[in-house]
Amino acid sequence: MADERKVKILVAKPGLDGHDRGAKVVARALRDAGFEVIYTGLHQSIDQIVQTALQEDVDAIGISILSGAHMYVFPTLIQKMKEVGLDDVIVFGGGIIPLDDIPKLKEAGVKEIFLPGTSLETIVEWVRENVKPRKVTL
């Protein structure tokens, strides 16, 4: 384990939605799969999430959202990430999201959406496949 380059993932809960069980369960599963997970806690503004991702130099952001505000949160997040130069950070999410919205979210730049009932193995496997440490040069 020691020499392996760690993948860092930010797990965040935006806005007023206070249901964080899912986020915590996913964070724990990712930890058990060997990832380093930064967990922000509840009620994060999009600016806070972007700043945290930037300072922690994460490779991906996982957003848990059950409030219905996903059509605002995801595109705004991705836009603000671009503004600060985090274009190469992967965004994925999970929560109660209508099927019709998923293609629109993907078009906005969300890499994957996990719906209720998704197994933890599926999420962990997806992260393993799709998230690699971002390249960095001097």
Partner 1 sequence: MGLVDLLLKGDKRAAARAMRIVEEEYPEAKELLRAIYPYTGRAYVLGVTGPPGAGKSTMIDKLTKHLRKRDYKVGIIAIDPSSPFSGGAILGDRIRMQDLSLDEGVFIKSLATRGQLGGLAKATDAVAQIMDAMGMDFIIIETVGTGQSEVDIVKTADTTIVVVVPGLGDDIQAIKAGILEIADIFVVNKGDRPEADRTVRDLRVMIELVERKEDEWKPPVVKVSALYDSGFDELIDSIFQHKLYLEKTGRFESHRKDKVKELFVGLLKDRVCSKAISGLKESGIYDVLIDNIYNRKVELYNAIDSIRVIFDYSELKVLLGD
Site string for partner 1, 51-70 (x = CB under 8 A): xx-xxxx-------------
d(C-alpha 105, C-alpha 97), whole Å = 10
Closest distance to partner 1 from the beta carbon of 126 (Å): 16
Amino acid identity, residue 75?
P
d(C-alpha 129, C-alpha 97), whole Å = 23
How many chain residues interact with partner 1 (CB under 8 A)? Answer: 37
Centre a 10 Å sphere on the Cβ of residue 16 and count the other Cβ atoms it contains. 9
Site string for partner 1, 68-107 (x = CB under 8 A): ----------------xxx---------------------
Assess 26 for contact with partner 1 (CB under 8 A): no
Query: Candidates 4-12, 63-71, 72-80, 102-110 — which segment interacts with partner 1 by CB under 8 A?
Result: 4-12
Would you give the distance in Å from CA 87 to the centre of its chain?
14
Name, in order, each residue with C-beta under 8 angstroms of 103's C-beta and a sequence gap of 6 or more.
Answer: none
Adjacent-strand bridge partners of 106: none
Residues in the chain, overall count: 138
Nearer to partner 1, 86 or 123 (CB): 86
Binding residues for partner 1, rule: CB under 8 A, are 1-2, 4-6, 27-28, 30-41, 44-45, 47-48, 51-52, 54-57, 84-86, 133-134, 136-138
